[in-house]
Amino acid sequence: MSHNVKKLGVLTGGGDCPGLNAVIRAIVKSAVQRHDIAVIGIEDGYDGLVLPNKTRKLTPLNSRGILHVGGTILGTTNRANPFKYRITVNGKTEIRNVSSEVMQKIKSLELDALIVIGGDGTLNIASHLYDMGCPVVGVPKTIDNDILSTDVSFGFSTAVQIATEMLDRLHTTAESHHRVMVMEVMGRYVGWIALASGIAGGADVILIPEIPYDREEVCQKILRRKKKGCRSSIVVVSEGAKEIDGALCILQSAEEGGSAERLGGAGEKAGLYIKKNTGIDVRVTTLGHVQRGGTPNAFDRILSTRFGVAAVELIINNQFGRMVCLEGQDIKSVPLSSVAGGQKKVPTETGLVITAEEIGVNFGRKA
Ligand code: F6P
């Protein structure tokens, strides 16, 4: 196919997730070997388009052996937003709009196109850069699975697999000690990881942000199980879960952290209440960043590879301002603007929640 793209840039932004390197590898292989396009790797997200000396040429040779490797060889940050860039002058931090400098940098690097691999924040920025004339396409990544317009983002499947394996381990120790085991998982404001790992890992209670929970109902469920002779119970709590009329458990505000607010403590909170009100011994495990680290599973390696190839295809077809996505079994694309500023929530009256309820899983809905 004939096209006029000679050089493209690629960056990874936001939190890392398993499969980023697999996307980079697919982009490099497809662009260089199939379409004769040079690839420039931009380091540390949008920082690489603001700060000096943060680019390097990517070749099939120097991108070898990374398909199965977690993280991102390019580095990333969730603090660099060119439209609200933090600059420290004489010890004082100022917020500046450096988007014009970013556009200038893209020009001086002679990039005909830019591929941005990221979550909602990173893709939102990409959408604004596109409005300024940047020839950009997006690839959706996040373990949270909260990006609109794609059935799934890469990284999610691996995170669910890790959480499921941890639940398998918790079952045996819970059963031995007649305990309630609470496991807090990531997911930010949506409950996809909790729901999927909870079902796959045989949880008895799953608490997700989309269904504010009644803590008394959760205790009753656990006591009913005990009465039936069940020696232990497993509770999966999404970090964004909250009680009816309750507040999010926030570890650090966005201002303190310099990026998005950090959630945490929902598992401990639920665990304390359960212990006090059932009299059963409770232990809480907060899974944390192990859900994001390490090798991507086969599903995510395949999805990442498909996304990387599809992003290059969009570029050679001059379809800028779009994000690749998965619809059913097919790779498609949608405008970046349709993704920006929203979140894909778990439906609470259809799908997996109902399946789980049919087998007796309790979401702490008020009776
Ligand atoms: O968005 C991915 C995610 O892992 C969330 O599930 C979690 O709330 C957040 O990132 C943690 O971010 P950080 O790496 O900044 O602690």
Question: From ligand 1's centre to the CA of 273, what distance in Å?
Answer: 26
Task: Looking at the CA of residue 291, tell me the nearest atom of ligand 1.
Answer: 4
Angle, CA of 246, 247 and 252, to the nearest 5° = 160
161 CB less than 6 Å from ligand 1? no
Whether the CB of 138 sits within 6 Å of ligand 1? no
The region of weakest confidence among 3-7, 100-104, 138-142 is 3-7
Q: What would the pLDDT profile of 179-230 be if each residue is shown by its tens digit?
A: 999 999 999 999 999 999 999 999 999 999 999 999 999 999 999 999 999 9
The alpha carbon dihedral of 355, 148, 167, 233 has a sign of negative
Question: Does ligand 1 lie within 6 Å of residue 321's CB atom?
Answer: no
Q: What is the mean pLDDT of residues 128-141?
A: 98
Q: Is 144 a catalytic residue?
A: yes
The reported pLDDT for the residue numbered 117 is 98
The model's confidence at residue 40, banded by pLDDT at 50, 70 and 90, is very high
Note the pLDDT of residue 255: 78
The pLDDT, as a whole number, for residue 257 is: 67
- Please work out whether the CB of residue 78 comes within 6 Å of at least one atom of ligand 1: yes
Supply the pLDDT for residue 358: 98
pLDDT band at 79 (very low <50, low <70, confident <90, very high): confident
Q: How far apart are CA 193 and CA 153, in angstroms?
A: 12
- Closest ligand 1 atom to residue 264 Cα is 8
Find out whether the beta carbon of 141 lies less than 6 Å from any atom of ligand 1.
no
Residue whose C-alpha is closest to residue 187's, from 169, 208, 167, 211 = 208
pTM of the model: 0.97
Assess whether pLDDT exceeds 80 at residue 2: no
pLDDT of residue 1 exceeding 60: no
Residue type, 278: T
Q: Which residues, at least 6 apart from 140, have a Cβ–Cβ distance to it below 8 Å?
A: 118, 119, 123, 147, 150, 153, 154, 307, 323, 324, 325, 339
Q: Which of 44, 47, 120, 144 is catalytic?
A: 144
Q: What mean pLDDT, rounded, does the chain reach?
A: 96
Distance between Cα 131 and ligand 1 center (Å): 28
**Mean pLDDT along residues 63-73:** 98
Q: What is the pLDDT of residues 323-345, one digit of tens each?
A: 999 999 999 999 999 998 899 99
| pLDDT digits 0-9 by tens, 250-295 | 999 987 766 789 999 999 999 999 999 999 999 999 999 999 999 9
Nearest CA owner, ligand 1 atom 13? 15
Beta strands 180-185 and 282-286, pairing class = parallel
Res. 134 pLDDT band, cuts 50 70 90: very high
Residue 188 Cβ inside 6 Å of ligand 1? The answer reads yes
Strand partners, 40: 9, 57
> Given this model, what pLDDT does residue 173 score?
98
Q: What pLDDT was estimated at residue 260?
A: 85
